[in-house]
Amino acid sequence: MKLMAVSSLVAALGVATTATCRHHRHDDIESSSEVSSSPALSGTASLSSASETESTAAPSPTSGTSAIWQPAAGASWQIVLSSALTDTSMDVEVFDIDLFDNTAATISTLHAAGRKVICYFSAGTYENWRPDQSSFAASDMGSALDGWAGEKWLDVSSANVRTIMQKRLDLAKTKGCDGVDPDNVDGYDNDNGLGLTKNDAISYVNWLATEAHARGMSVGLKNAGDIIDSVIDNMQWSVNEQCAQYGECDTYAVFADKGKPVFHIEYPKGDSTNNSNNVSASKLKSACVFNGSAKFSTLIKNMNLDSWFQLCS
């Protein structure tokens, strides 16, 4: 994959105190850094990092997952990450919203309307606007994300990083989240400055699943198509961005084949954020029609993931 270049979007939106676009795959989107001075893994309190020669087989599904919420393939959904959710009226089964920006009261309101709630957080990057940002050590951080101000890749084998993520999962449970959407687990496929490998990601994602399940919450895989075979048994869904644009939807279809949703997002507008105009019929077809698309839960969104959306039909 190529690193996404979206500095123009970040400059327009700013990072301020909200989750502005901390969700995208780190690819070039056709429309158009700071690097940590800490040596890679220097002084890091790390768990043992998996080497590339170690087995990548998935462990047995986490015990007790039969009681975990499992949405059906094709479930309808909405995702809003640009700010706190204000419109809870959309008639969908699932809302994916920011863990920090939204309150337990908002989640309770959604539950009262019969909705399920997935809570988003970045599991693989440091974000300098989050309330727990001071908990990360300099040794936990690698390279800055090109085009994403205030964000750096994390050493996902760090004991400290994992402790912070446990606390985030505790917060998700306290707020009433039904599941979690841990983003940026594909550091291995980017210039991360930490030497992260696919096996590191596999270990981390399966660990996140164990921790989420232990708290009674389900979990999904965000992008990271290279590790699907090694984690899918512990995942309840996939969240994918732009598989139609990049011709990768066959990779994620295995989730739907197992009766698990592929919550799929396309951004035909590119960097443009315009809530007045819908996407043209030709662009809609390109985003929505592909092999197996009938089983995907596809949304057309603005790249800042505000409340605007367009359905395929």
Which tokens hold the place of 200? Answer: 């590191």
Q: What is the pLDDT of residues 203-262, one digit of tens each?
A: 999 999 999 999 999 999 999 999 999 999 999 999 999 999 999 999 999 999 999 999
The model's pTM:
0.81
Number of domains into which the chain is organized: 1
- Burial class, 107, CB count within 10 angstroms (exposed 0-12 / middle 13-18 / buried 19+): buried
Containing structural domain, residue 259: 7-38+66-311
Tell me, yes or no, whether 59 lies in a domain: no
Phi, psi of 240 (to 5 degrees): -125, 140
List C-alpha distances in Å: 137 to 19, 26, 68, 255: 21, 24, 33, 36
- Where helices occur in the chain by DSSP H, the ranges are 7-13, 104-112, 159-175, 198-214, 228-231, 243-246, 249-257, 281-288
pLDDT of residue 57: 42
- CATH number, position 135: 3.20.20.70
At 93, the pLDDT band (50, 70, 90 cuts) reads very high
Q: What is the mean pLDDT of residues 134-158?
A: 97
Tell me, yes or no, whether 55 lies in a domain: no
Q: What's the CA gap between 260 and 116, in Å, rounded?
A: 15
